[in-house]
Amino acid sequence: MFESVLVANRGEIAVRVIRACREMGIRSIAIFSEADRRALHVLEADEAYCVGPPPSSESYLRWDRILEVARGAGADAIHPGYGFLAERAHFSKAVQEAGLVFVGPSPETIAAMGDKTEARRRMQRAGVPIVPGTTDPLADPQGAGELAREIGFPVLLKASAGGGGKGMRVVEKPGDITRAFEAASREAQAAFGDGSLYLERFLDAPRHIEIQVMGDQFGNVLHFGERECSIQRRHQKLIEEAPSPVITPELRKAMGAAAVRAAEAVSYLGAGTVEFLFKDGEFFFLEMNTRLQVEHPVTELVYGIDLVELQFRVAAGEALTLEQDSLRALGHAVECRITAEDPYRGFLPSTGRIDYLRLPAGPGVRWDGGIISGFEVGLNYDPLLGKLIVHAPSRTAALRRMVRALDEMVIRGVETCVPFHRRVMDEEDFQRGSVSIRYLEDHPDLMDGEEDESILRAAAVAAALVEEEEQGRLRLDLAPQDGRVGFSAWRLGGRAFMGRR
């Protein structure tokens, strides 16, 4: 096993990996920008080094500086987390060339699955269902129009080199193909440095279902069931759960087997996710994310595993010792992504100083966060503050537990999406599990800004908790303590004496 690991990331995922290092007896090395000097991941790590100014292009994306720190600090391996450099084949290759271990798949695997058309070709050869469409980049709008007429409108133009909704356009009729092609290509070029596009049949309002896989250096690949990730805004996931409320045991077995074939087709090493679109009982390959996912905790909770620990073990050359037939999902888990965004102003980013933070607790509640009181939330990075995850014996119980946890959560100083999540938990279609990737478009009232009973109730609970805690935070202590008189203050782990003899 590694003696020391550099975590090439920030925020909640850096904290998550650092905590796994501590439990495994691995020395953790953090990096940070000048804006993150007092961030939680810096405080949690055994060592921390500044790699540049606040812009990520000058700090967290400077792989040359990161490698310099890794070599100087004596790191054995680099864990990339997700985002930033996690799916950059050139970074994985540079890590290997520096004599370090990249905790993730090979550069060749990252490159193959990062090219969407190449990924579709490989999946087709592996017998993984793909959405009908092209497996080669489109040459021009005219060629795209001819293929679209063969497949049948509506169709979807997508960037070959990327994801996240960038470089993507739905085309309803032949007359729209040229304008859509040019706009999608420009956007793809700006986002990924590659303007090439491919085309596939447009599936109206499918569900987004993904399968967690893990592979080792000996060719073993396991899957850990599915996650429901259909509630999205502009192709960015907001709420995830495991298992999906609509996937039967038979479908789970079929989708899991397809995901394993997908991973085997690219000799996959480490943790990865095979994403599918699901509609009317059919599933189609969407893409493969060659990294740990933001929503990995729901899988960990229902399967009782630590995916980061498994990442470290297979990266260190250990074989997977689990057997597929022994893996069973127990209960239900739900995750809400807590972001510094105002859901009633179009999810505009919110900045400021977190002057009060109260996190929910109790049975079955988990918080994976990267913030502390006093932390300054700026515009340099993703607005994700953390993830609130709950686990319970059933979906109904998990949703009730999430309601309770959201009601207890207090983050003051910035606007957050907590009220939005609270509304979703009460919405009837969501409670029934009747969702698709068009869920928010079909429920615009969830973001209309009007106060409702659930928000008022949550606000009342939060206000009462804040008042109770703040009353006990600082109080006059008139009783002598070891001959001293002063006043006491609340702190984590007990009271701290402040004053004088």
Beta bridge partners of 228: 209, 241
Q: Which of 128, 364, 422, 430 is nearest to 268 (CA)?
A: 128
- Of 209, 156, 200, the closest CA to residue 437 belongs to 209
Kindly give the residue spans of alpha helices, DSSP state H, lying in 447-491: 453-473
Check residue 234 and report its DSSP letter. Answer: T
Which residues on adjacent β-strands are paired with residue 284?
277
Q: How far apart are CA 454 and CA 444, in angstroms?
A: 17
Active-site annotation holder among 10, 122, 227, 291: 291
Rounded alpha-carbon distances, angstroms, from residue 238 to 335, 387, 421: 8, 10, 9
Cα–Cα dist 109/268, whole Å: 7
Per the CB < 8 A criterion, the answer to whether 253 and 446 are in contact is no
Q: Residue 463 corresponds to which amino acid?
A: A
Question: Do 15 and 91 meet the contact criterion of CB atoms below 8 Å apart?
Answer: no
Burial of 467 (0-12, 13-18, 19+ CB in 10 A): exposed
Annotate 74-84 with b (16+ C-beta within 10 A) or e (fewer): ebbbbbbbbbb
Q: 405: which DSSP letter?
A: H
Q: Clarify whether 291 is annotated catalytic.
A: yes
Catalytic residues: 291
